[in-house]
Amino acid sequence: MKHGQYRFIAGFLAAPLAVYAVFVLWPFVQSIYYSFTDWTGLSPEFSMVGVENYSRMLEDDVFWKSLQHSLLFVLLLPLVTIGLALFFAFMINVGGRSRKGAAVTGVRGSSFYKIVYFFPQVLSIAIVALLFQFAYNPNSGALNSALKAVGLDGVQPNWLGDPGLALWCVMAVLVWSTVGFFVVLFSAGMTSIPKDFYEAALLDGASRVTTFFRVTLPLLWDTVQSGWIYMGILALGAESFAVVQIMTVGPGGPDYSTTVLPLYVYMKAFRDGQAAYATTIGVALLVVTLAFAAVVMRLGRRERLEY
């Protein structure tokens, strides 16, 4: 009976696993293979060069700059985004004053706030990047116009043209565009927590801060951990590439101050015709992504709480 059951399950899994292997695993294998060649991406002819591309990568100053920026993204963006999302979600669902006999409630207008926070998710990341590119314009942008309107005419930063500011401007856009998704995600998790837990904590004299760290965060930890990994992958992948590609000069400038690994892979593959070297950088990006996920899973491991 069990043998027939295993064959039945294997029959259902065969097709999805085959599709996953062909469209996900096989491209990874191909990329690793091409990283040991001199393939240009424009010709079917190439030859094996061993670890030459990896040696070149280790001596590439732009690669190290890109790696530094990507690591900064993956360390700071999840921290800021998840932190803000947890705060907003807690205020929306639990942080309001008691009214109408309810001991635990969200702030007034919480449904409206959910819509406001989630609104950037409705927009394409390309549209978001274009909007903020206009806002950051040093001559006619909304930010410098607002500073001028309040009498700060002497404070007119060249937001995307200053190597010291450009990367932080890009990070601010990524936080603004993604925090709403996690607000809704954490709000859904918080609504599933029984209200009795919060009411018992409040009756024991616990403050809102204590309630958050002692009740909400432990019961929401699995969702937070998944969100942390997802945000890290966004910071290392398409989201960071799109924003940097559209908003910055060069792109990736000024002076490679905003270049990230996904953008550098694109530049080498499609601008410089060095597909093999681009796949080498892509392999490094894969290693960084896997290492980030493994570290988060390892540090975030704790006993599962059920309720």
Q: Is residue 42 part of a domain?
A: no
- pLDDT-above-90 percentage for the chain: 41
Q: Is residue 188 part of a domain?
A: yes
User: Which three-class secondary structure string do you get for the chain?
Assistant: CHHHHHHHHHHHHHHHHHHHHHHHHHHHHHHHHHCCECCCCCCCCCCECCCHHHHHHHCCHHHHHHHHHHHHHHHHHHHHHHHHHHHHHHHHHCECCCECCECCECCCCHHHHHHHHHHHHHCCHHHHHHHHHHHCCCCCCHHHHHHHHCCCCCCCCCCCCCCCCHHHHHHHHHHHHHHHHHHHHHHHHHHCCCHHHHHHHHHCCCCHHHHHHHHHHHHCHHHHHHHHHHHHHHHHCHHHHHHHHHHCCCCCCCCCCCCCHHHHHHHHHHHCCCHHHHHHHHHHHHHHHHHHHHHHHHHCCCCCCCC
Residue 1 confidence (pLDDT): 46
Q: How confident is the model at residue 104 (pLDDT cuts 50, 70, 90)?
A: low
CATH number at 177 reads 1.10.3720.10
Span 186-218, pLDDT tens digits: 988 888 888 788 778 877 777 888 888 888 888
Q: Is residue 89 part of a domain?
A: yes
Q: Is residue 145 part of a domain?
A: yes
Q: Is residue 48 part of a domain?
A: no
Q: Is residue 249 part of a domain?
A: yes
- As a whole number, the mean pLDDT across the chain is 86
Segment among 61-65, 71-75, 142-146, 193-197 with least mean pLDDT = 193-197
Q: Is residue 218 part of a domain?
A: yes
Span 2-48, pLDDT tens digits: 556 777 777 788 888 899 999 988 988 998 999 999 988 888 888 99
Number of structural domains the chain divides into: 1
Domain that holds residue 111: 59-299
pLDDT at 97 over 60: no
Residue 86 confidence (pLDDT): 92
